[in-house]
Structure 1
Amino acid sequence: MKINENYTFTNYVVGETNSFTVEAAKMFANTVGDNSPLFIYGEAGVGKTHLVNAVANAIHEKNLNIKIEYVTAENFANEVIDCIRSGNSEMKKMRMKYRDADVFICDNIEFVQSLQSTQSELFYIIEDLTLMGKKVLITSYLPPAKLFEDCGKFRALIETCCLAEIRRPDKPLINDILDFQIKKMSIPLGEEIKNCIADGCERDVCKLLGVLNTIQMHMKIKKTCPDLENIQKMLEDL
């Protein structure tokens, strides 16, 4: 899976609810073997995918020769299914590809909980990489206690990871993210409208970005920023 070069530590807005995990991610990117495997968890939309891409970009910024394999658990599952259909030779190639990685990143690992064959393949890849001293980074929207309840060995593997949670952003962080995004997107918003958006998003970054994207589209079509009433309607509809 291609690393998103737009997701970096530089444009990751840090606040009280994510600062520990950001520092853990930076440590992972900047050191050899320390805090690995690293398990990052938190609700959907709190910034896990941005953060793991930032890790990959930071590693490649130092050394492009480091081999990073970044995959979502869903894509990994599809790859396993394709290999099973294609035969043993393709499965061997897949296993070798991931075991040859210097850094392995798996996003949204909760997806494989009910997929036994995929779960087994992923477990042994992570276990082997860990034993070889390679770096492993895993994310999930579920905390470790709610993962792999029917697979003791995978649950035990997760429990040995360094754990870092990203909590939903508090009001100050929502305000900082809003300020960062409107500057980046060149959206001129007055304080009343900014306060309305921050209050209406209820600590939901996805909703915040949805409102700003809609405002930007409105500006391109109407050549003007929507008024407070229209923005309140957007917030109600999201």
Structure 2
Amino acid sequence: MHHALPNGAEDYLKPALAHNRIDSGLSFVTEQTHPIELIGDKTIPKYAFVRNPYSRVLSAYLNKIEPYAEGVRGENDDNNYFYRVYTEVDAYHCNNLPLVSKVNFYCFLLWLTNVNNVHTRNEHWRSQVELLQTGSVDYTFIGKLENLDDDDAPTLLNYIGCDIDFPSQKKVSFAPTNATSKLEKYYTEQELKLVNALFLSDFEFFEYDLITDSLELKC
């Protein structure tokens, strides 16, 4: 078997290509002539990876919201979209939690819970069940990020007949938020309650354990 890359850039270890539709070399369903028919075609294998809702939503907050709340990023930084999202979260925080000094994880979760608009439905924190349309798309395999290295990445590569080893995070040089190791710091019972309600469908469909006691987060 050859190390063929039938779809995608040859420099697949370059993280900048992950969100670059022009240079990534990937074909996207939304660019196809009949995308709905393509998705519904049961002869075409479909694969997806999901992440534990606790670490996923915290990672989104740490990467997209907290840097603005902490002043690490500002209005003129390169990602102005998330600065606009942050200003909306901050406005919610000021109007509803005036005694809290600045936007924190709890403020962010309350905003997600109580506001319904294009920003609260952003793909970085929208339900994975909704994003993947699990009720209408028949997936060949759904892996979990937590099992990526040990089981699920090798399983997927075997499915697609690829003999390239799955690269480590170090090889990709992708800067992680390390959200999983920070769960204990950011979660109390009040944050757990909000996340459990926000992402109940993800917990149930992908069989992630619900946690109600923050002591369970201790390593």
TM over 0.5: no
TM-score, with structure 2 as normaliser: 0.26
Q: TM-score, normalised by structure 1?
A: 0.25
Larger RCO (CA under 8 A, 6+ residues apart): 2
* Structure number having the greater strand percentage: 1
Point out the structure with max Rg over C-alpha.
1
